[in-house]
Chains A and B, each alone.
Chain A
């Protein structure tokens, strides 16, 4: 026996090492548990280092980013001093858009507005498996994170917590091949199961061939999986292919399109409705354009109708270039006694001498849908 062990020493050691690890694997699979102590040690040893590296990296990145943003702000301020009022307003709008686009603030805003109770977390590392799409976040059981909790961003779902440890947690991303979640289409209310592919897009499976799903349609979480609350955006359908039994629907996830640095862990999820409009296509309220000068002045006259009854003129100072172009076509058409915009009208003669614009002609009726101005609203 001793001779055999010596003779086959290499093979014996190999066999012993593999058998020991197989036993370890079998224990974990059989008991559906894990060797928590080893993982806690490993995570505990690595997390402080990860925090230091991440803090150093993010502070360096933010320093340079802030520096360049400040440069832009200085230039903007110089330009604002010399620009006209409307340019200044436009600039302020863009700056407010920029600040709104700031991820951290958007995250905080979303956290305040969301009915679900969430915890903000930073992504501090990746898992060591090359094929797996798993990240490590800096919140663990000490912050109330538990295995199975949903992880989202304001743009959509990101993944779920597959392991929670005192100082950090593993998050299985929705792009991982082993990920699955229940989803629902926004337009046709088609149920399906989201599956990761190991790369950018995800697959919506188990959608019957006769069910209608269109490219561009949005999918939301259905809440069936008991992980994600209902009504969170998943992504937009990029490709729909017919299959044998089920359609092949590929969706571009929306949750990770702005990178993955800060995420929210849903501690207490609240189911919400599926929005009528997909994200980014929410209706935007637009104020009516202001009335033209002529109308404004006439409205100031005694006996003139109220401002709300006066049709706003398109050729006023706030008219768009398109409105001005339509107005010019109309004036040329009147001079040539033709109507442009109909088939076979030919090209207008832009060199024609037009009569000087009167206040009345400068404020033509804008839209057939709007009420035409009262004669008393015009200047005599």
Chain B
């Protein structure tokens, strides 16, 4: 008889083994490029202003690292960098992206995040969560009388979700292979 304790392996540990690794330059350069994209590209093509690349990048690295702590730190860094280039008080995007990073990493321990359909759904969900939570924080912490446009947010979430699949496919190429 084999000992059941010996054969039991925590799924989280298994998932951690599948965690992807990236170069430090990738982890710094890609979010920076995403933020700069959001700063400059909508000047030439206003339609692209709806693309929340920093969020998509945060979700990607959190999913692929499969570590909630890494997700929290990564989300906070990207969010604060985004805050520093926005007119908002520092911390608004930081808090929202910290939560996104944490939840994305937590989900990656339960789902096969390589699947395109899963990525599409997660992209949609996190964009909606991001926009909604940002609105909640704006009203709750800053007292701004912003209205939450549900239809618009759903459309923006869908647009970003469709970008998620090809973007993540490109980012997959940047993973380090053992």
Contact = CB atoms under 8 A, between A and B. Distances in A.
Interface string B41-68: 0111000011010100000000000001
Nearest to B67: A10
Interface in A125-154: 125-132, 134-136
A114 interface: no
A120 interface: no
A163 interface: yes
A255 B67 CA distance: 49
Contact of A49 (B36, B69, B73): B36
A46 to B, nearest CB: 6
Interface stretch (A27-35, A92-100, A332-340): A27-35
A14 B44 contact: no
> B44, B72, B142, B149: which has the most chain A beta carbons within 10 Å?
B72
A127 B102 CA distance: 25
A12 to B, nearest CB: 9
A130 B85 contact: no
Given A126-B42, A127-B39, A128-B54, A17 B89 contact: no
B85 A43 contact: yes
Contacts of A131: 131, 134, 146
Contact of B91 (A14, A21, A126, A128): A21
Query: Which of the listed residues A18, A53, A130 has the most CB atoms from chain B within 10 Å of its own CB?
Result: A130
Nearest to B89: A28
State the 5 A-B residue pairs at the shortest beta-carbon distance, nearest first.
A42-B84, A10-B68, A25-B91, A21-B91, A28-B89
18 contacts: A9-B69, A10-B69, A13-B73, A18-B98, A21-B95, A21-B98, A24-B89, A24-B94, A25-B89, A29-B142, A38-B90, A39-B90, A123-B43, A129-B88, A130-B52, A130-B156, A136-B39, A177-B147
